[in-house]
Structure 1
């Protein structure tokens, strides 16, 4: 039903315009889905450029040219990535080998200690339902199948010249694209802003700024907190003498974006590893493990989160998990890269829609304002004349 002053032709034109934008949006999603392998290095490079742009701008404000600032930031990012690969990959490889070599000890502890303890307190006969030997054999068989599948897959990739060339091209393109995104990020933002209709520039600028703050609060803030907690847990558990402490610490740090889940998972895994390693109840080791996670939580609550994340409204952990899983399901690895930016924009748009709804007549209701006249008597304010013309004076 058309409102006053809007003809049926206007309603049809508006519907066709909305239909056009909907079709364009669906076509854009289809193109993203079709070009996902090609777009992956571009999206990854754009994210890295967005992460490094604030530091480039800061160096520019201190008097350095844009090219020099970009070269410094790009060199720093390359150095950090190289050091991470050189340090973490061999370290994690040793930790995984240690874990695999101690799997029989974990099996013995599970069968001889954990299950009898649970059975004695619950009265359940768990050994009838859980056959550890069969479970270990099943894991071993599937591990071998996974290894065989991986070997077959890598053999296929090595034989497939096109796939290998595409993989190498993406690896080579990533640093080049990152460099160009870093150098031209402000130019790209200005060009996008120039395309926004002038009567919507204020609203779009506000929404873009809020989206940037939300995404930054998670990616630049929460991600650094995750890395810091992973380092604290890994170093602390290794210092107290836990053999697989580095592996447990990194896992606990990486899932710490979900409140309490990272610390809880790390404590459970570390306690089990400590019991298996000591072959009994080592109170000293357990107290030291608890102290490591207590110190980590205190640092996160009072130092890391307030100083790094601040009071910006970040993404809810449930929204992050759903966005990453949905993006991966729909668009593969490209969808996982786009998940967080899309979730940040959607979060801001939902807040903006909620604000508009609370200001609308649908939420507040159409109420006739009551005013006071000069004598102080209440009366109902006359409704405005829709034509905008002054009323005819009454005849004397």
Structure 2
């Protein structure tokens, strides 16, 4: 009997019997994923317009949640600051009421800032633009008279073609006047249509506010479920690396956006105080221009200075020189002290890469691209640096860090 059992167990396995192999199964999964990805890329490229339209429809459908996530992303640092340093540490409140009060105060502050912008600043900007539109014909006539007098008194300058110069001026300045006049005459219909759009989208905005409140309140639960899903799909080491990258990317974006907004707000206030003290015309309009353009690194301050200089040139050409000096002082203060104090080295980018990100982002997505190009390139630089360090470590190669000195 023992011999029969022994002979039975020693029978060879048939050749057509399937033996599971985890290695081949993994290869099969990766092959299927590659084929599926190639098909999706082909569909995306081959039907690009349809894909963009589909993405637009999905984004429109999810717009309340996308807007709510952006609001939560912007307001969470303020909520966390109030919760940690004010209501918990200073007032010794319990967790739940401290959280509720932190969210409430943060949203009230945000609504207050928006109300100030709508009620006080925008009407003054409109009034300034109306005054400039009325002053443009006078400035135009003075400029033409000055050029005619210059031509009469400097006929010996043969290298200047006055006919071409006059033709350019006579054709350009009326177009500018008509363009600005058209803006001012059409601004009320634009405001009405925008108001109707706001009324139509008020439901989505209310939903976005509610979504943002729940995202801030339940962010730990959301991160917990996302973490579970990520570790379910990915290997542990990959999930750990992904979490680290996402955390650092979020820190880069939030630090840059919030820090740059605070920096630009302070610069706008300083500009308003200085323009009011030195009696520059249209102090509110100039301060808003400087504050908004200051959001764009490097090029923004110069853009704001040039636009403000054109506005002052129309009203008081003599003050343009003092305006240039004022802008130079403010921007030096921002670049040497205020900016580094608020932003520090959040992006970790050298000036060359900052200029590259602004140029490429601006050419692709306009002003928004110029602003968001810096943190996007900073995130890509961070991920690329991690990949390079990983492959160098696998090859057992160590490269001495560069000496950050001014020596050649």
Q: Does residue 33 of structure 1 match 2:56? A: yes
Q: 1:317 to 1:122 in 2, by over 3 A?
A: farther
Indicate the residue corresponding to 2:17 in structure 1. none
Q: 1:278 to 1:155 in 2, by over 3 A?
A: closer
Indicate the residue corresponding to 2:9 in structure 1. none
Once the 2 structures are TM-superposed, how far is the Cα of residue 147 of structure 1 from its aligned partner?
Answer: 7.2
Once the 2 structures are TM-superposed, how far is the Cα of residue 59 of structure 1 from its aligned partner?
Answer: 2.9
Secondary structure at 1:301's aligned position in 2? helix
Contact 2:72 2:212 in 1 (8 A): yes
Indicate the residue corresponding to 2:144 in structure 1. 111
If the length of structure 2 is used for normalisation, what is the TM-score? 0.68
- Measured on the aligned residues, the alpha-carbon RMSD in Å equals 4.4
Indicate the residue corresponding to 1:220 in structure 2. 258
Indicate the residue corresponding to 2:108 in structure 1. 75
Indicate the residue corresponding to 1:124 in structure 2. 160
Indicate the residue corresponding to 1:189 in structure 2. 223
1:352 corresponds, among 371, 374, 383, to: 383
Once the 2 structures are TM-superposed, how far is the Cα of residue 176 of structure 1 from its aligned partner?
Answer: 3.0
Q: Deviations over 1:359-379 (max 9, x none)?
A: 53799699xxxxxxxxxxxxx
Contact 1:49 1:181 in 2 (8 A): yes
Indicate the residue corresponding to 2:4 in structure 1. none
Secondary structure at 1:299's aligned position in 2? helix
Secondary structure at 1:313's aligned position in 2? coil
Contact 1:226 1:256 in 2 (8 A): yes
If the length of structure 1 is used for normalisation, what is the TM-score? 0.69
Contact 1:46 1:181 in 2 (8 A): yes
Q: Deviations over 1:38-97 (max 9, x none)?
A: 333432322221122122223333424322211121112112221222221112112111
Contact 1:237 1:245 in 2 (8 A): yes
Indicate the residue corresponding to 2:76 in structure 1. 53
1:202 corresponds, among 240, 245, 249, to: 240
Whole-angstrom CA distance in 1 between matches of 2:245 and 2:269: 35
Q: Deviations over 1:133-168 (max 9, x none)?
A: 43344345556766787777788889x9xx676423
Contact 2:121 2:284 in 1 (8 A): no
Whole-angstrom CA distance in 2 between matches of 1:152 and 1:244: 24
Indicate the residue corresponding to 1:289 in structure 2. 323
Bigger RCO of structures 1 and 2 (CA < 8 A, at least 6 apart): 1
Indicate the residue corresponding to 1:378 in structure 2. none
Alignment coverage as a number of residue pairs? 347
Whole-angstrom CA distance in 2 between matches of 1:59 and 1:360: 43
Q: Deviations over 1:243-293 (max 9, x none)?
A: 2343233223322244443333344444454454346xx4xx456424422
Q: 1:344 to 1:290 in 2, by over 3 A?
A: closer
Contact 1:44 1:174 in 2 (8 A): yes
Secondary structure at 1:242's aligned position in 2? coil
Whole-angstrom CA distance in 1 between matches of 2:302 and 2:202: 40
Gaps of 5+ in 1: 330-335, 367-396
Q: Within 5 A, what are the aligned runs for 1:331-370? A: 340=372, 344=375, 347-357=378-388, 359-360=390-391
Q: 1:23 to 1:95 in 2, by over 3 A?
A: farther
Whole-angstrom CA distance in 1 between matches of 2:329 and 2:120: 24
Gaps of 5+ in 2: 1-20, 45-49, 398-408
Contact 1:98 1:244 in 2 (8 A): no
State which drifts further: 257-266 or 192-201: 257-266
Secondary structure at 1:123's aligned position in 2? coil
Q: Does residue 15 of structure 1 match 2:53? A: no
